[in-house]
Structure 1
Amino acid sequence: MPSPIPVTRLLPRDFGLKLGVCSSPLTKHFEHSTLRVPVNAIHAKLACRLWSSVIHWRELCDLESIGSGGFGLVFKATYFGEIVAVKRVKCAKNKLASRQSFWAELNAAHLRHENLVRVIAASTQSNGDEQLGGCSSSVIGTIIMEYAGDVNLQQLIYSAAEPLCTESCVRYAADVARALRHLHANGIVHLDLKPANVIVSPGGVCKLADFGCSLKVELVLDRDSSARRMEIGGTYTHRAPELLRGEEVTPAADVYSFGVTLWQLLTREPPYEGERQHILYAVVAFNLRPDLNKHVFTAGQGSSFKELLSRCWSAEPSQRPNAEQLLTDLSMEFPT
């Protein structure tokens, strides 16, 4: 029995098609994947962007717990013979926030890009309790995604023994900028960009993950946006000052977070030290930013990095570069 997630909920409005619920078995291969999605009687433009709203629980095998948190549990598994990641979203104390986080995870489910973790299937059915842990009443939903790699950028920055050369930092930053460019072009803001949410594949390609705080720009701009803005989550060390003030959400907020992430790549240090509330106040009231007087910003190409980060952290969102400009600057100032 299909789950109550309508396929049309997360697809762009310009498709203009009336569709039923996805069904499987699966019939068409995506590039670089053996997993398939249903395409019978579906417009070709839709088929290449489709994710399944049905999880075939019997095909979900070899589950191994690899993480947990307030949101629930993450597993490594196989699905139709391919290694995948499985996120089991549980109901936290704030039930509304848990549900919003689950649906936000699917904001980019219809997108396909080499620098975004691909959603394969999602369901609000309560099946799989025995395999995935938790009782039906505590589960919001389950999401199956591509397994992008064993390491995230946070681990690479702070735990890897080998040094991070400038070339690697620029390459990783460019991957993240390409992910943002694709998201923003499709009307989605991530709102929780940080190293822990960037997976590094075995081939060294960065893929942006964890869309639990994301928003569709068209929804941000509706008449209820002021109330919705007050509920925006994210990580305080990477959150743009306008979000802390409860102001308008724009793609520029992701660019601010990109700047903090690039600073971490270059320095391999935490962006701030001190009490959370003191930092939040100083970011808004006194334009506190991560330290740009470190040695890495004075030697070699350091001054160019310093100038780029300063623009990413402008207190005025309209003065920040967009994702396309970030890519241009990275390729011109720091060719790899």
Structure 2
Amino acid sequence: MHVTSERRTLPPGTRVARRYVLGRPLGRGGSSIVYAASDPDGRPVAVKILDPEPEHRATERERLFREARITEQLRHPAIVRVHDSGPLAGGMAYLVMERLDGITLEEHLDGRFWMDLEEARALARVLLDALSAAHDAGVIHRDVKPANLILQGGRPAAPKLIDFGIGRDLGDPRSRVTAPDVVVGTVGYMAPEQLFGDEPTPRTDVYAAGATLYEMLAGRPPHDIDGGDIRDVLGAMVRPPTPLASLRPAIPPALAAGVMRALEKAPRDRFADCRELADACGLEARAA
């Protein structure tokens, strides 16, 4: 299989690594396209074809292989399963994962004032348990956000955490692809220490999970950051978000207080991990 640098859409029936037959495109990123596909046994899978610009190929390929290494070791029903990965001709690469039928949490929230409380609690319970499992394996996601949660069948109680492309395996030096002074993550959800290139810890994901839960419960992100404007970003570093309890008094006090503590600026002031956050919020994190 040959892929051009224009990232053209490959036609149905294209074979990848002689084993996977592509179908329709499912989504497109900055340097990749994800396709519906089938494996050699005819089972449905999703195949990500990485096709970055020539000057970024080495870094992007290593990130894809890092995503494969990290995700393959995680076994949790709410974390996407990765089955295979490898290089392709012309500096390209592929990653094969389970095919998910659903929408992102970001899409689910679009147009809603806020989520139903019970739906939000159900989703939060599963998300925090999935992150706890990743942390137990020494993995920090570093990009938890609504766009990286797939709601299977559109059901908030059945989320899948995806995209460990910038994740860190604290026990594997190869998982450090980004230079220490390069910022990775998504503005509005990344913890303040990520902006300074500090080493990630479980508290880094606690912050991002808190930002995601805040948006689910309040109907808006913790901070209004317009397109990553540096003034808004810097303001978010010092200003606390509006208390959840004042935005939606019906939120149980323990849940509102737990989310607000997860969004503390200093890591030491947050919960040590996602289990502590779940317990404080009264969610009793458990497997989906």
| Residue 110 of structure 1, CA deviation | 1.9
| Native 8 Å contact 2:255 2:282 kept in 1 | no
| Native 8 Å contact 2:31 2:52 kept in 1 | yes
Q: In 2, Cα distance between the equivalents of 1:112 and 1:307?
A: 30
Match of 2:30 in 1: 70
Cα deviations across residues 118-157 of structure 1 (Å, max 9, x unaligned)?
0011111x2xxxxxxxxx3251x11111112221111111
| Residue 215 of structure 1, CA deviation | 0.7
Match of 1:86 in 2: 47
| Residue 319 of structure 1, CA deviation | 2.5
Report which of the two structures shows the higher radius of gyration computed on alpha carbons. Answer: 1
Q: 1:320 aligns with which of 245, 270, 273?
A: 270
Match of 1:311 in 2: 261
Match of 1:10 in 2: none
CA separation of 1:333 and 1:176: change in aligned 2, threshold 3 A: closer
Q: 2:72 aligns with which of 104, 109, 114?
A: 109
| Residue 229 of structure 1, CA deviation | 3.0
| Residue 333 of structure 1, CA deviation | 8.9
Match of 1:216 in 2: 169
| Native 8 Å contact 2:59 2:177 kept in 1 | no
Cα deviations across residues 208-259 of structure 1 (Å, max 9, x unaligned)?
1001110111347x9x979843234110111111111222321111110001
Q: In 1, Cα distance between the equivalents of 2:261 and 2:133?
A: 21
- In structure 2, runs of 5+ residues without a counterpart are 1-14
| Native 8 Å contact 1:117 1:146 kept in 2 | yes
Aligned residues: 263
- SS for the counterpart of 1:122 is strand
| Native 8 Å contact 2:212 2:221 kept in 1 | no
Q: 1:118 aligns with which of 78, 81, 99?
A: 81
Match of 1:156 in 2: 108
Q: Is 1:258 matched with 2:209?
A: yes
| Native 8 Å contact 2:104 2:146 kept in 1 | yes
| Native 8 Å contact 1:213 1:232 kept in 2 | no
| Native 8 Å contact 1:296 1:302 kept in 2 | no
| Native 8 Å contact 2:100 2:152 kept in 1 | yes
| Residue 264 of structure 1, CA deviation | 1.1
| Native 8 Å contact 1:199 1:207 kept in 2 | yes
Cα deviations across residues 4-59 of structure 1 (Å, max 9, x unaligned)?
xxxxxxxxxxxxxxxxxxxxxxxxxxxxxxxxxxxxxxxxxxxxxxxxxxx97454
- SS for the counterpart of 1:238 is coil
Match of 2:132 in 1: 181
After TM superposition, list the pairs within 5 Å mapping 1:181-330 onto structure 2.
181-202=132-153, 204-219=157-172, 228-271=179-222, 272-274=224-226, 276=228, 277-284=230-237, 286=238, 288-292=239-243, 295-297=246-248, 299-321=249-271, 322-330=273-281
Cα deviations across residues 148-183 of structure 1 (Å, max 9, x unaligned)?
22211111111569x631000011111110111000
Cα deviations across residues 261-284 of structure 1 (Å, max 9, x unaligned)?
001111222441435211222233
Matched residue type, 1:185: D
- SS for the counterpart of 1:315 is coil
Q: In 2, Cα distance between the equivalents of 1:227 and 1:78?
A: 33
| Native 8 Å contact 2:71 2:80 kept in 1 | no
CA separation of 1:61 and 1:274: change in aligned 2, threshold 3 A: closer
Q: In 1, Cα distance between the equivalents of 2:140 and 2:284?
A: 26
